[in-house]
Each structure stands twice: as structure tokens, then as C-alpha cells.
Amino acid sequence: MTNPLPVGEYPCETPNVCPPQTFAPPHCAATHPSDDVDQVRVALENGNVTANDQVGPQCALAFTLSNDQITNKLDIVKTLLAYGADPNALDDPALNPPARSPSGVDPDQGLPSLGTNVENLDPATRYYVSRAKSEAMQKNRALVQRTEFQPLARVCFDLVGQDLAFEQLFRALNTRSKQRKPGPVVAVLCGPSGHGKSFVAHRFSSLLDIPSHTVNLTTVRTPGDLWKSFSMDPNEDVISQLTLEEFLIENEGRPCVVVLDEIEKTAKENLFSLLVPFELGRCPIEAGKRHVDVRRVTWLATSNIGQETVFEFDKTRITPDKPISRQEYLQLTTTLRDQVSEHLGASLLSRVTCVLPFVPFSTEELRAIAAESVMSLGGEEVSRLNPSAIGGIIDRALLAYVAREGARSLYRAVSNEVVDL
């Protein structure tokens, strides 16, 4: 490898991670990926390196996990996995050699080092590594591979859970990419609060590097309000000065995203003007004006429609602590589609590409969320704790979990636990 990941130097202490001479002179010590996650991400995006390049004798993933001098391990691991790092390399002695003692004796008898053994990882890191290995992840990546939506697969390493919602969304995008004359994609993300709907809707455009406009429907009181609404994206650094009408005109014929937040919070009649854009990809904003071409717009609506149905459905499952199966998910989708129709109207729903229920977290997913929150909120204090102490924080936080508030309740519980560290 001639273009290593962004590196820094420290005294060589572990012989199994010494880099090749292209990194540094042999007498020098080893190198490691930067603790600046953005720097690592930029290097991967620019193609200067790949997520499967080696750092010395190890793959970058194994090197990150086994190097105790890297403090932002989880974020770097998630970034490497998002950009295609092969998690199976952790089980390959050629890419993850066993640690060796100074005498040269192999204490682990050829096995990968304990620090890279999936079972020894913290719940969050273990979750993301296992997710990258899963059949569901491979399927999701395959659905958007070789399409303009390929970068969206990285969203699976930005949040926990919702594998089947991603699969259904990626199926819809895959179908659209195969059409001779593709039209707009319209998805309704529905279900309980705190399960990732708004996050995914707002992350969509940033992953594809395309413009977006967010309309909060709680402020829409008349049909005309929709098109005169300014963007309310919480992630925007600069507040947009464009109305939705102006945004669509400015981006006419180009890929872009419109997020319709809390779509059920306005009257049905205020949404009638979306019928033609959803179906034909033409936007008759006002009588007497030309129609705007919106065929390449992705419309993402978020809603709490069906929240109670989702929880009731989860209670009836034989194994509610395990991830929902595809068959169960499709059954739930059918039920929720009927409820969305009641709220938004059958004419509008008939033009919706897919309804995506966001479902309750499994026990494993909850532990991953809690663990990630501990590492994010705890800072240096957490890095000094042993695994048992961290596990205690996670267990206590889970006791305070409120399903109807979702991940937000876990963030609050973890914050209360780490504030006194």
C-alpha cells in the first residue's frame, strides 16, 4: 500500500503492528489511523486509500480494534465498515495475525488477538461488525450497488436497527433505477418516535451529496402554505432562503430530496397538490404557471401514524426480544398502509411508492445504542473504566428505557449515569 490512512507516530511497543518501510523507516515506530474520523472519511472518499488496505501486517479494521492508542475506535470502525471494510478479515490470520510476545512465542496458538475477537468487543462495536457480516447487510448493499443510490448503504452504520425498513427502501430505489423513464420515489416512514425516521430522512441527501428541503407540516394550514414553506432542516449550517417552490425550480431536472416532516399533522386537503407530483413527476404549483419537472425528486414523509399498532404487533410476536422477520415486517406493513390511507387519503397513498414501518429495537440493539451513548457522552472518564463497570452503566440505563420515546430515553438515561463519573 503506497497511500496509507492518515497517520501519526508513536513509539513501537507491539511487534505485530510495525508498518512496512513505505510508512516509516524500519527503526521508527508504528503508525496508526488518525483519531480524526473526518480525516479518515475524506481519505476514503477521495480514493487515496480503501477500507481494506493493510496497516503493516494487519487490515485497517483489525489494526484499529487492536490499537489501544486510538481513542475514537468505534467511530473509525463504523467509518471503515461503511466504506466496505470486510469484517471477515478479522478471522483471517493473514490479515489479522496473532499477537506475539517479545520472545516470538505465539501465546494464542495462531488465533487472532483477543482485542479483535467479535465476542470480546463492546456491545456497540460488536453490533456494527456483526451487522456488516450479516446476510441482510449484504442484500441491502447489493440492491443499491451500481445505482446512483449506492452511498445510501452507509446509513446502516449511522444508526442501530431498522434493517427491513432499509431493505424495502432499497428495493424501491433499485426498481426505480431500472425503469426506462424513472419517476419520483415517494416513501412514508412511520411508527413510534425515537426510532430513526427523521434521522434517515435527513441523512438521505447528505449521503448522496444532493440538495434537500424540509417542510414541517405542523405549520401548513392551507394548500398554498406547502409551496411557500421555507426549509426547516436542523442539520443545515446555513438557513435556506428558498421556499419549496423556489427550491424545486432551482433544482429542476436534478436529483434532490424533499422531506415532509410530520405529514399527518396537517389536513388532507392541504396535500392534494402533491397528487400530480407524486404520480407524474410534474409539479403544477399554481394555475397559469408552467409545470416544474420533479421526476428526479425523492419525497420522504415522516409520521407517527401506527405507533400503537407497531407496539401491539410487537407484543404478539413469539420472540419480541429478537429482530423482526421479513414475513412479520410485510404483515405489519400491510396493516399500517391501511392506517396511512385513513389519515392521508387513499388517492394520495395510491401514489406512494412504499410505506416503511420503523419497529421497536431488539435487546441486542438496545444494548448497542446504550453502549454507543456511553462512549459518546462519557468521554475520557469512560475510557478509564473496565468492561464490567461499563456494562453496569448499560444495564442501569436499560432499566430506564421507555419504548414510546425510543432511543431518546436511552440517551437521557446514559447521560444521567455518566454525569457523575
pLDDT tens figures, 217-266 = 999 999 889 999 999 877 776 677 899 999 999 999 999 999 999 999 99
Q: Quick check: is 137 in a domain?
A: no
Q: What pLDDT, on a 0 to 100 scale, did the predictor assign at position 101?
A: 52
pLDDT at residue 59 is higher than 50: yes
Confidence class for position 273, pLDDT limits 50, 70, 90: very high
Q: Quick check: is 18 in a domain?
A: yes
Task: Say if residue 301 is in the same domain as residue 351.
Answer: yes
pLDDT digits (tens, 9 = 90+) for 26-36: 222 334 445 78
Q: Quick check: is 13 in a domain?
A: yes
Buried-state track 340-356, b at ≥16 Cβ within 10 A, e below 16 = bbebbeeebbebbbbbb
Q: What pLDDT, on a 0 to 100 scale, did the predictor assign at position 207?
A: 94
Task: Say if residue 371 is in the same domain as residue 393.
Answer: yes
Q: Quick check: is 129 in a domain?
A: no
Task: Say if residue 277 is in the same domain as residue 351.
Answer: yes
Confidence class for position 288, pLDDT limits 50, 70, 90: low
Task: Say if residue 234 is in the same domain as residue 272.
Answer: yes
Q: What pLDDT, on a 0 to 100 scale, did the predictor assign at position 15?
A: 36
Task: Say if residue 19 is in the same domain as residue 43.
Answer: yes
pLDDT at residue 393 is higher than 70: yes
pLDDT at residue 156 is higher than 50: yes
DSSP for residue 230: B
Q: What pLDDT, on a 0 to 100 scale, did the predictor assign at position 112?
A: 54
Domain, as residue range, for 107: 7-121
pLDDT at residue 9 is higher than 60: no
Tell me the CATH number at 238.
3.40.50.300
Q: Report the mean per-residue pLDDT for the chain.
A: 85
Cell numbers for 214: 424540509
Q: Quick check: is 273 in a domain?
A: yes
Q: State the average pLDDT over residues 187-193.
A: 96
Give yes or no for a contact between 253 and 292, defined as CB atoms under 8 angstroms apart: no
Among residues 71, 106, 121, the one where a domain terminates is 121
Confidence class for position 200, pLDDT limits 50, 70, 90: very high
Task: Say if residue 246 is in the same domain as residue 304.
Answer: yes
Give yes or no for a contact between 201 and 302, defined as CB atoms under 8 angstroms apart: yes
Q: What pLDDT, on a 0 to 100 scale, did the predictor assign at position 183?
A: 86
Task: Say if residue 73 is in the same domain as residue 179.
Answer: no
Q: State the average pLDDT over residues 66-84.
A: 91
Question: Which percentage of the chain shows pLDDT scores above 90?
Answer: 62
User: What's the structural domain count of the chain?
Assistant: 3
The owner of cell 425510543 is 406
Q: State the average pLDDT over residues 87-92.
A: 90
Q: Quick check: is 207 in a domain?
A: yes
Give yes or no for a contact between 404 and 307, defined as CB atoms under 8 angstroms apart: yes
pLDDT digits (tens, 9 = 90+) for 345-354: 999 999 999 9
Q: State the average pLDDT over residues 158-169.
A: 95
CB atoms within 10 A of CB 32: 25
Task: Say if residue 84 is in the same domain as residue 212.
Answer: no
Q: State the average pLDDT over residues 142-156.
A: 92
Q: Quick check: is 368 in a domain?
A: yes
Q: What pLDDT, on a 0 to 100 scale, did the predictor assign at position 171?
A: 94
Query: Nearest Cα to 417, choosing from 385, 405, 406, 73?
Result: 385
Q: Quick check: is 275 in a domain?
A: yes
Among residues 329, 357, 385, the one where a domain terminates is 357
- DSSP-derived secondary structure for 263-314: GGGS-GGGGGGGHHHHHHSEE--STTSPPEE-TTEEEEEEE-TTHHHHHHHH
Task: Say if residue 182 is in the same domain as residue 84.
Answer: no
pLDDT at residue 376 is higher than 60: yes
pLDDT digits (tens, 9 = 90+) for 96-121: 887 655 555 454 455 555 567 788 89
Task: Say if residue 351 is in the same domain as residue 369.
Answer: no
Task: Say if residue 178 is in the same domain as residue 223.
Answer: yes
Task: Say if residue 368 is in the same domain as residue 352.
Answer: no
Among residues 334, 357, 380, the one where a domain terminates is 357
Confidence class for position 287, pLDDT limits 50, 70, 90: low
